[in-house]
């Protein structure tokens, strides 16, 4: 009646949306379609049928399918954009894993060249001790220790390609579970599940309509699975600390300046040759590997579930509605008339009706609901 007469309907919806749904305590919100009186009528028809005569499967399916399709803030909002970002992130991570593997293999290739050069150079430096005095022999012995230690540290990185293979194997399963969520943003509703939620009282009001969304049940399960699936990727990034330690050992070898040491003769030249080989052949590939590991680590840190867990809940909030109008109402009045006959005057009173303005007055209308989904990482 009010709508048919084009009366203005006011509400505090804007205030509720502004104040209630602003991010707080890490929570982010997406809203379902407003649960209006029309939604309520359809919902009551569905639930009454379920509780009294048994659910009409087609009716339940049609109701939830219609509501889900109206809820664009959920199906096209920030929650699903986060999943899109996850998909893109793991595409990038997959490329970074491949880059780590390539860089690691390159390091080991150059390590073979460097180790061979180190071995041949040290053998020729004091062959049979004919070109070395005691001081040179002592210096050679001293040099072998840090160089050997640094090369062993680089050699210890030889298991990185295998770790990269293990990490790479997780990408397809990870993308598959994320893709499943994305594909089911507008699903044929799980009617059997919806019926169970109605019958056991889980869905008993409009505030709980978002429980009918696939993502509400599935995302927490997927989040737990993803935390386990990324473990091999995290394990791969931990090689970065060993790579950095190996680089420090190489730099310690390179830090020694032998050029001005004229006393050591041929031994000195050998030292310089070894330093040059390490610098030209091994250091840059190791730096490249460390950069790739750092890049992978930074990328994985963008995935919220690496160090946190998902918390997700549903609910609804109410906003008031009203109309303020004046009405033209029939008003009863009393009319007095006087009649004079033969000198006698008599008053005659009778009722009459006339239009009167009623109001303005506030008429409260049934509240509407805004069902929501909220989530955070803690």
Going residue by residue through the chain, which has 378 residues, state the pLDDT in tens, using 9 for 90 and above: 555 456 789 999 999 999 999 989 999 999 999 999 999 999 999 999 999 999 999 999 999 999 999 999 999 999 999 999 999 999 999 999 999 999 999 999 999 999 999 998 888 776 654 556 676 667 677 778 899 999 999 999 999 999 999 999 999 999 999 999 999 887 677 889 999 999 999 999 999 999 999 999 999 999 999 999 999 999 999 999 999 999 999 999 999 887 776 666 667 788 889 999 999 999 999 999 999 999 999 999 999 999 999 999 999 999 999 988 887 889 999 999 998 888 888 899 999 999 998 878 888 999 999 999 999 999
Q: How far is CA 10 from CA 7, 74, 190, 198, 322, in A?
A: 10, 25, 36, 32, 5
Residue 48 CA to residue 62 CA, distance in Å, equals 15
Contact between 167 and 96 (Cβ < 8 Å): no
**What pLDDT is attached to residue 4?**
45
Residue 50 CA to residue 63 CA, distance in Å, equals 13
**What pLDDT is attached to residue 5?**
56
Q: How far is CA 153 from CA 156, 157, 165, in A?
A: 5, 7, 21
**CA 28 to centroid of chain Cα atoms:** 11
Alpha helices (H) along the chain: 13-20, 37-52, 57-70, 72-75, 78-125, 134-155, 160-168, 171-183, 191-199, 214-229, 231-237, 239-255, 265-277, 284-301
Instruction: Sort 255 into a burial class: Cβ within 10 Å, 0-12 / 13-18 / 19+.
Output: exposed
Q: Which two tokens stand for residue 304?
A: 């919220």
**What's the order of all strands across the beta sheet hosting 310-341?**
10-11, 310-341, 344-377, 28-31
334: left (phi over 0), alpha (psi -120 to 50) or beta: beta
Q: What is the pTM assigned to this prediction?
A: 0.84
**In terms of residues, how long is the chain?**
378
- Whether the link from the prior residue into 48 is cis, omega within 30° of 0, is no
**What pLDDT is attached to residue 221?**
97
Q: Which two tokens stand for residue 66?
A: 């219609």
Any idea what DSSP says for residue 35? Answer: B
Contact between 140 and 267 (Cβ < 8 Å): yes
- CA-CA-CA-CA torsion sign (24, 28, 34, 35): negative
Q: Interior CA angle at 288 toward 286 and 291, to 5°?
A: 110
Cβ partners under 8 Å of residue 278, min gap 6: 114, 147, 150, 250, 253, 254
Residue 104 CA to residue 106 CA, distance in Å, equals 5
The backbone torsions φ and ψ at residue 197, rounded to the nearest 5 degrees and listed phi first, read: -65, -35
Instruction: Sort 362 into a burial class: Cβ within 10 Å, 0-12 / 13-18 / 19+.
Output: exposed
Q: How far is CA 58 from CA 15, 35, 49, 238, 321, in A?
A: 37, 20, 12, 53, 32
**What pLDDT is attached to residue 89?**
99
* b/e map 180-191, b = 16+ CB within 10 Å: ebeeebeeebbb
């Amino acid at each position: 009646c009010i709508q048919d007469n084009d009366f203005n309907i006011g509400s505090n919806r804007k205030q509720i949306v502004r104040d209630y749904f602003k991010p707080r305590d890490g929570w982010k919100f997406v809203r379902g379609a407003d649960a209006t009186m029309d939604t309520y009528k359809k919902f009551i028809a569905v639930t009454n049928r379920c509780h009294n005569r048994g659910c009409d499967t087609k009716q339940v399916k049609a109701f939830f399918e219609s509501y889900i399709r109206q809820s664009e803030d959920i199906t096209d909002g920030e929650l699903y954009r986060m999943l899109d970002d996850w998909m893109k992130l793991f595409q990038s991570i997959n490329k970074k894993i491949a880059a780590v593997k390539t860089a690691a293999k390159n390091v080991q290739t150059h390590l073979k060249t460097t180790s061979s050069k180190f071995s041949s150079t040290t053998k020729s430096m004091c062959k049979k001790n004919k070109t070395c005095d005691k001081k040179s022999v002592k210096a050679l012995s001293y040099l072998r220790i840090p160089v050997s230690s640094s090369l062993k540290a680089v050699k210890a990185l030889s298991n990185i390609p295998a770790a990269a293979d293990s990490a790479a194997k997780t990408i397809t399963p990870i993308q598959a579970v994320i893709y499943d969520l994305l594909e089911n943003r507008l699903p044929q509703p799980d009617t059997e599940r919806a019926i169970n939620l109605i019958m056991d009282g889980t869905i008993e009001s409009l505030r709980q309509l978002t429980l009918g969304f696939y993502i509400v049940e599935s995302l927490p399960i997927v989040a737990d699975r993803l935390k386990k699936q990324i473990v091999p990727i995290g394990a791969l990034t931990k090689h970065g600390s060993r790579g950095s330690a190996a680089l420090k050992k190489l730099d310690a070898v390179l830090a020694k300046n032998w050029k001005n040491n004229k006393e050591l003769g041929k031994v000195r030249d050998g030292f310089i040759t070894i330093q040059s080989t390490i610098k030209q052949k091994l250091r840059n590939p190791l730096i490249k590997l460390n950069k790739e590991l750092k890049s992978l680590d930074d990328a994985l840190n963008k995935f919220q579930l690496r160090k946190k867990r998902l918390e997700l809940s549903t609910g609804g909030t109410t906003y008031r509605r009203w109309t303020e109008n004046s009405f033209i109402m029939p008003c009863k009045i009393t009319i007095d008339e006087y009649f004079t006959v033969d000198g006698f005057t008599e008053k005659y009173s009778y009722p009459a009706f006339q239009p009167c303005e009623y109001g303005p007055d506030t008429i409260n209308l049934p509240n509407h609901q805004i069902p929501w989904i909220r989530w955070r990482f803690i």
